[in-house]
Chains A and B, each alone.
Chain A
């Protein structure tokens, strides 16, 4: 059996007829955005396997999932699954004080045209609910992620009147908690903004209902790829403005650009900002100095990145611009909804795949022979001692992270250099 061949010979370039997928569907995206919210229960309205798959991915991505399933069976396809749904809602919510339910309907109820909203409305007790059609055939992971983030605005409270005089506050939208070191990244971005006196109010996906509810009190929404529809809705409803970044803040330059841009937007004193950023960069450079002799070894090192759009762009830019690596390939495995193929990285890397079938990246790696891959567990099979893999993107399920070392932000530079040097 061949493992590598030139797929372009075989496939019709315009319409490939099979895909070995590198991302999940709308259900996984929505589940990722919803399942870690403390205080809310996620109900996958589908057969058991639809929940098993997404739950498997998230539990191994360090998320304590709050999901369960309405366990539809063959009879549900014939007679409808409303009864199963009603019973499940009663079991999971009836005896709870605070009742928040996010219902994600899978392909089966979606295709047979079930009225799940009718069931929600007819249950004999009150609860807060969000319902999304997440049939796998309806879209990809990024679309589900975006759609779910947007619907969370239903549970936000109107901001309390009269808040003034305190430090500016921002929401961070689209930072993923379930990627490798995701929580540490959030903490580091919070710290980096704190250096110039900007507080972080809420992060999306949120960690709790409480965090979600208070989000409209923020002065600015910072959108990192995912959650643009949520930001638009918050602007329309509560007048919270937003700024969109299509890449995550990796490296000294990436983080500096983010902090400076937000500081300028919120009117932070430029002198203070410059001083704080320079001070932080100096601290990091002092630490990196201990690895100074290793940095030339990384210069020109052939590398490839496989990650979703904001992560891939940010990482590739850092590896190329600040470490001088030779980017041999980039695979953008998923992206926020409505984003097409633009990356702005063509000057860094000539070989960029966008949402391609997995074997196309395998072919690219075979052809360009990178010495290091920053990717996910999907890349495990093409990595080895000579071509190490740094697990950094989703899904990373074969490593756990208990320590608070980030990949993003100023401090993330230390972790990245440490891991790259130790792995190659």
Chain B
């Protein structure tokens, strides 16, 4: 491929990309991010491919990243010339012939699309690009527009602007949506200081969890002494249930690369590293392809876009240690050493990777940079609330109807995320709490549902933003068990360097296990609190320093649950096996025998059409009987 060295050449590449984004023939796009593949998108893609070839249809079949609507994956989009883009959810290989058939016929009789997209915001270019020419056809009038459906209504997509829209493997499509224009603008019209000023003005705070102002970090790294400097992208997302960064790396790798090049230019770095965990094979593959393309097109390597600036990026694969998301541990790992953190008042912006000034930002932070450069820091700072500008991507998981990735302006009430975007709690159960910030974060109880979701409010509530995990819990979640789960995770992820984290968190884990097993003792809560303080005060890095958070926040808001476990040996949510008992309500039991057949330990007995009984001695408390009972006759106490 020819190297791009002028704005005209860049625009030409963009035009080529636009042609493939807005094709003149029918184009079918399958959401093939990991979330899609997990739901069977690969099989849908295969079926489409086979069927199109079989019928010799002139359709283009393409892949894209994730739109974030994981609850309706696999998602298939259909683009026809001058018609709205239609999105079909929960596709299966079986539905493929019907879909192709109705495309041919020009109707939606067999499969109804979830929503339609008449026009698309190209946020980086501040443009609207229309799929629909003229008026919308009659048969599509009932289909809601994308912006109108509740899941999208309150979202603003900046970091995930291209995810689910472009083919992550196509650099031209990225350019068509404003990609690398910011880079060109930065390299040709802005000085390093102007860029840093713009980032400072934008108020962009580190999206990895620390929330440190990115521009200030860049500034210190720029002014640090040394000729050789590095920029690093932290793609070592490790919180259980969080996958924001993965989605960006898979769906829009160029946005991260462009952000890093701009950052490198502003800071004065010659080399960059993307540290990504090896458990993200698709992210690694897409990033590798993207870096290769960017290099062959002259966005990486020597004389980027024909300027004097040279910079290159290498990918470094991590072995999946949670602690390697900590910046100093990450740098140690990059150097080939064991991923252990060190004390941080020797700032990494001055003495980082190989003791050189290094600027580390998270994937999402880097992905925001090109948009800030193109739309200005002022524009960005007006999104969100003061001191917490811009948007944040959250992975909304747990007991919520609409599981997926959401990008919302900071300062949005928690309620809006859980109820409007998330669609509330399944089964009309009661909302209990939200865990934010992953294992190091904390719980926000139902009583604080109006809390503004931003760095500072979450911190004040005893939790934290973290990298953006948001786990919704309903009344069937035991908070002690939850704390135990996270602490157990941290025990296995502690690097073992400092005493309080290695020994202390482990001991907390033992105490929590005891409480869940009904062996809790009077005074355990106080001991946990005292230990938590010792661990917070004593630990070397943020992993240990924040490890007690799940325990402290659950004690703070759900102390009575701990008391119930310890004093009454009772698990109010009916989760902790040692403390619960399944019983059959004889009045409701119809004697259908389903539970008895399903019980793996054979502890349910009873005659047909007569109330059954559970032998408590044999019961292993797996809960299968309760799930299988259609008459709600089985209760847990």
Q: Do A and B come from one complex?
A: no
Q: Interface residues, chain B, CB within 8 Å of chain A?
A: none
